[in-house]
């Protein structure tokens, strides 16, 4: 069936092309809208290095870094979710549910509250310490889930259950830190754990961009085994896959992606959960497409941020918007999986 797979491939190519155009359009629109409204041509001029000095400043210093952070964070979350869902073979598997995002959240909040009480939260600690602590927290939580769920291999359902437990622990750690911390720090931490793109500058773009430049190719190269990993372990091993090696490698890539993203913008809810399923339906495949998930995730976060910035007279953090959109989706997933379990 060469024709079939070609048709499938062409369809995913078309989806990716459309998504890239959409991405560029969303980016431009996102930059146009704000306290200083700009036209599309002003935005494009400023992006290409022209336009007035004011437009230049608004576009390249204020809005572009924010939009790019959203795009990259969304892409990283989408890819992370796609890898998790493909490996665990469960649409519920995502870094949000598996504790990674909450672990990263606890790590970052510990920096905000402790560094704040020590009076060193300015500059350095905030821009270097926070992402690193987030990354560390996410890795610890993710690896903990992985280690606890390991029993001569990884079984999807057990991983989801352990993940829910670790999420609860990380959530409690976070709440404890918020309680003992200074009120003002706790306030800032609250905004952060909702997931926000407010005030994101180039210092936030660069780490996520670097991580993605390395990890997207790694994931796509490693991802060719995902197709053979979608069956039971015995079938996959029969096809010549070193199941545990391949799975561990991809899960670690997914954990790092989600942790880096969370360190940059806070735990933006539901993006990693919903994105792969949206991309899967758009591409018409049985497994979440990796590259498609990157694109869909980016679009989703930038659009949600745009909605958050404009829908109400005060700015809503992007995490609030994605939570409002994502919560019903999670309920739908749970209801559906219960029905299937009954059959």
Partner 1 sequence: MSVRLEASSLCVGYGERLVVDTLDLSVVGGTVTAVIGPNGCGKSTLLRALGRLLPARSGAVLLDGKQIDRMPTRDVARVLGLLPQSPSAPEGLTVADLVARGRHPHQSWYRQWSSDDAAAVEAALAMTGISDLAERTVDELSGGQRQRAWISMALAQGTDLLLLDEPTTYLDLAHQIDVLDLVQELHSSMGRTVVMVLHDLNLAARYADNIVAMRDGRIVAQGAPGEVLTEGMLSDVFGLDARVVEDPVSGTPLVVPVGSRHRSS
> Concatenated DSSP letters for 299-313?
HHHHHHHHHHHHSSS
Q: How far is the CB of 299 from partner 1 (least distance, A)?
A: 23
Q: How far is the CB of 154 from partner 1 (least distance, A)?
A: 16
Q: What tokens does 149 get?
A: 């769920």
Q: How far is the CB of 213 from partner 1 (least distance, A)?
A: 18
H/E run at residue 191: helix 183-194
- Of 214, 2, 212, 262, which Cα lies nearest the Cα of 111? 262
Q: How far is the CB of 249 from partner 1 (least distance, A)?
A: 12
Reduced to 3 states (helix: H, G, I; strand: E, B; else coil), residue 231 is coil
| Residue 48 binding partner 1, by CB under 8 A | no
Eight-state DSSP code of residue 268: -
- Of 9, 28, 8, which Cα lies nearest the Cα of 299? 28
Q: How far is the CB of 229 from partner 1 (least distance, A)?
A: 10
Among 222, 244, 248, 324, binds partner 1 (CB under 8 A): 222
| Residue 240 binding partner 1, by CB under 8 A | yes
Whether the CA torsion 20, 91, 263, 244 is positive or negative: it is negative
Q: How far is the CB of 151 from partner 1 (least distance, A)?
A: 13
- Of 304, 312, 279, which Cα lies nearest the Cα of 294? 279
Reduced to 3 states (helix: H, G, I; strand: E, B; else coil), residue 267 is coil
| Residue 11 binding partner 1, by CB under 8 A | no
CB under 8 A: which stretch of 75-83, 193-201, 269-277, 285-293 binds partner 1? 285-293
- Taking the C-alpha atoms of residue 210 and residue 218, their distance in angstroms, rounded to an integer, is 13
Q: How far is the CB of 251 from partner 1 (least distance, A)?
A: 18
| Residue 124 binding partner 1, by CB under 8 A | no
Q: How many residues bind partner 1 (CB under 8 A)?
A: 27
Pick the closer one to partner 1 by CB: 54 or 224: 224
| Residue 228 binding partner 1, by CB under 8 A | yes
| Residue 5 binding partner 1, by CB under 8 A | yes
| Residue 231 binding partner 1, by CB under 8 A | yes
Among 14, 20, 161, 239, binds partner 1 (CB under 8 A): 239
H/E run at residue 125: none
Q: How far is the CB of 84 from partner 1 (least distance, A)?
A: 14
- Taking the C-alpha atoms of residue 259 and residue 272, their distance in angstroms, rounded to an integer, is 12
CA angle 275, 194, 147 (to 5 degrees): 65
Reduced to 3 states (helix: H, G, I; strand: E, B; else coil), residue 79 is helix
Pick the closer one to partner 1 by CB: 152 or 179: 152
> Concatenated DSSP letters for 98-122?
TTHHHHHHHHHHHHHHHHHHTT--S
| Residue 230 binding partner 1, by CB under 8 A | yes
| Residue 199 binding partner 1, by CB under 8 A | no
Among 150, 237, 315, 325, binds partner 1 (CB under 8 A): 237
Q: What tokens does 258 get?
A: 């989600």
| Residue 343 binding partner 1, by CB under 8 A | no
Give contact residues for partner 1 (rule: CB under 8 A): 1-2, 4-5, 8-9, 89, 221-222, 224-225, 227-228, 230-232, 234-235, 237-242, 285-287
């Amino acid at each position: 069936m060469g024709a079939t797979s070609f048709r499938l491939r062409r369809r995913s190519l078309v989806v990716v092309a459309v998504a890239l155009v959409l991405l560029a359009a969303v980016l431009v629109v996102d930059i146009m809208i704000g306290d200083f409204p700009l036209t599309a041509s002003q935005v494009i001029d400023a992006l290409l290095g022209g336009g007035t000095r004011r437009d230049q400043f608004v576009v390249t210093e204020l809005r572009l870094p924010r939009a790019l952070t959203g795009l990259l964070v969304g892409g990283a979350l989408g890819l992370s979710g796609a890898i998790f869902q493909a490996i665990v073979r469960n649409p519920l598997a995502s870094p949000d549910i598996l504790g990674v995002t909450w672990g990263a959240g606890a790590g970052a909040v510990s920096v905000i509250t402790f560094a704040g009480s020590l009076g060193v939260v300015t500059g350095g600690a905030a821009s270097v310490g926070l992402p690193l602590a987030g990354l560390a927290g996410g890795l610890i939580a993710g690896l903990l889930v992985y280690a606890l769920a390991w029993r001569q291999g990884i079984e999807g359902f057990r991983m989801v259950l352990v993940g829910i437990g670790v999420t609860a622990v990380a959530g409690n750690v976070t709440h404890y830190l918020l309680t003992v911390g200074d009120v003002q720090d706790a306030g800032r931490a609250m905004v952060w754990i909702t997931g926000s793109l407010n005030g994101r500058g180039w210092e936030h773009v660069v780490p996520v961009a670097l991580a993605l430049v390395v990890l997207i190719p790694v994931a796509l190269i490693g991802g060719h085994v995902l197709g053979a990993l979608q069956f039971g372990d015995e079938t996959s091993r029969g096809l010549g896959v070193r199941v545990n090696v391949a799975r561990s490698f991809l899960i670690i890539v997914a954990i790092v992606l989600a942790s880096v993203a969370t360190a940059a913008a806070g735990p933006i809810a539901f993006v990693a959960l919903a994105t792969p399923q949206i991309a899967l339906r758009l591409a018409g495949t049985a497994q979440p497409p990796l590259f498609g998930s990157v694109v869909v995730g980016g679009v989703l976060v930038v659009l949600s941020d745009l909605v958050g910035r404009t829908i109400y007279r005060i700015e809503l953090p992007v995490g609030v918007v994605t939570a409002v959109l994502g919560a019903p989706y999670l309920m739908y997933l749970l209801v559906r999986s219960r029905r299937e379990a009954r059959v």
